[in-house]
Amino acid sequence: DARPLTLWGSSSMSSEGGAAATPVAVRIHEHLALAAAPAVVHGYGVGATRSGHTLLMRGLDTPGLRRLGDPAPGTGAVPVALDSGLAPVGTLRIPGDLAGVPGMLDAGGDGWTFVPDDTARSLTDGIFRSALAGVAEGSRQVLWMGKNNILDASGVLGDTQRMWDAAADPAQDTLVLGQWPTPYDPVGSATAEAVDAVNAEQQRRYGDHFLDLAGLLTSEDGLCCPPLAPLRLLEQATTQEALAQRIVPGGLRAPDDIHLNGWGNLAVSWSIVRRMRELRWL
């Protein structure tokens, strides 16, 4: 039973920042692929996306698309608008079909476009369905979503719950990763409180299927986990300062301070693998 594993989320799920600080880049999906082999691991973490974009990718939201203009010469890209109002972000590209015409929904450039696989085919307004829904069918999933819209705590909780409920066996097939506080989330700030609230509610809802990464990365025990032990982080004054501020230490943060570096990603990988083994996914 080598069930596939699908990773959903934003830039953290894609291990942005993972090339920093470690001698070799650490990408979470690569370590999970090794752990899960021979099961296939699909990585769908896309930078800048919000929890609503994950629902679109997963095929749980099927918005109507309205054409805004003619196909671009050469590429055949047709500018479109989503009736859900979801804004295009980052480099998001979702394979799927528009009213039955296969193609790619692309958030790059100045707005949404849809590029049919066969540029000779004409498009009509209609429903967009992500082809990734088929990939997700029967797959276990790891969710690391919502940090980019964390102030909409109820939205993040609701979107995560929809992903959870869509699994083949909702109580068994999902692992939800918690959010971690950056220097931009100081204690008392709106984002810090939102992170705490979302983490607490998800811990309550999902129990063993929730991974408290904030706890891992801001506790003495967590900072001494096997992959981090050689760094001796607790002996560093900057680490103690970070712990006092209840933020993740700089030794685990990428230069942009909002992503984890290679060491942070290694700790997250360790935590995920250990929990997966306890859940008997591996």
Partner 1 sequence: MRRPAAPQLRPGRPGSPIRVMPPATASAPAPEPAPAAPRRAPLARTGRRAVLLVGAAAAVSGAAGAGRLTGPFEDVAADHPGAEAIRWAEETGVQSALTATGYSPDAVVTRGDVAEALHRLAGAPPVGLGGLPLLFTDLGEDPARVSAVLWLHGRGALWGDADMRVRPDEPATRDCTAMMLTALLRPALAGVGVTWDAAAEVSLLQAAGPGSALADLAWLEAAGMASWEPTDRAGDAAVTRADLAVSLQRADTVVTSALG
Q: By three-state DSSP, how is residue 9 classified?
A: strand
Q: Is 168 in the site for partner 1 (CB under 8 A)?
A: no
User: Which residues inside 79-108 make contact with partner 1, applying CB under 8 A?
Assistant: none
**Residues, the chain:** 282
User: Which position among 20, 35, 92, 254 is part of the footprint of partner 1 (CB under 8 A)?
Assistant: 35
Cα distance between residue 107 and residue 110, in whole Å: 8
Which range touches partner 1 (CB under 8 A), out of 18-26, 73-81, 142-150, 209-217? 18-26
Tell me how crowded residue 241 is: count the other CB atoms within 10 A of its CB.
Answer: 12
User: Which position among 38, 73, 188, 207 is part of the footprint of partner 1 (CB under 8 A)?
Assistant: 38
Cα distance between residue 177 and residue 214, in whole Å: 9
- Is the preceding peptide bond at 183 cis, omega within 30 degrees of 0? no
Q: How far is the CB of 280 from partner 1 (least distance, A)?
A: 4
Site string for partner 1, 179-218 (x = CB under 8 A): ----------------------------------------
Strands 5-9 and 41-45: what pairing? parallel
Q: How far is the CB of 58 from partner 1 (least distance, A)?
A: 23
DSSP 210-272: EE-HHHHHTSHHHHTSTTTGGG-GGGSHHHHHHHHHTS--GGGB-TTSSSB-HHHHHHHHHHH
User: Which position among 220, 241, 256, 257 is part of the footprint of partner 1 (CB under 8 A)?
Assistant: 220
User: Which position among 9, 31, 142, 166 is part of the footprint of partner 1 (CB under 8 A)?
Assistant: 31
User: Which position among 144, 206, 210, 281 is part of the footprint of partner 1 (CB under 8 A)?
Assistant: 281
Q: Is 39 in the site for partner 1 (CB under 8 A)?
A: yes
What are 143's strand-pairing partners? Answer: 8, 176
Q: How far is the CB of 235 from partner 1 (least distance, A)?
A: 11
Q: How far is the CB of 139 from partner 1 (least distance, A)?
A: 13
Q: Is 169 in the site for partner 1 (CB under 8 A)?
A: no
Q: By three-state DSSP, how is residue 161 classified?
A: helix
User: Which strand ranges, in their side-by-side order, compose the sheet holding 5-9?
Assistant: 41-45, 5-9, 140-144, 174-177, 210-211
Q: Is 27 in the site for partner 1 (CB under 8 A)?
A: yes
Among candidate residues 9, 40, 28, 22, the one with its CA nearest the CA of residue 273: 28
Amino acid at 103: G
Q: Is 273 in the site for partner 1 (CB under 8 A)?
A: yes
Judged by CB, which is closer to partner 1: 204, or 280? Answer: 280
Judged by CB, which is closer to partner 1: 5, or 92? Answer: 5
User: Which position among 60, 157, 197, 279 is part of the footprint of partner 1 (CB under 8 A)?
Assistant: 279
Query: Which residues are at the interface with partner 1 (CB under 8 A)?
Result: 1-3, 22-25, 27, 30-31, 34-39, 220-221, 223-227, 229-231, 234, 266, 270, 273-275, 277-282
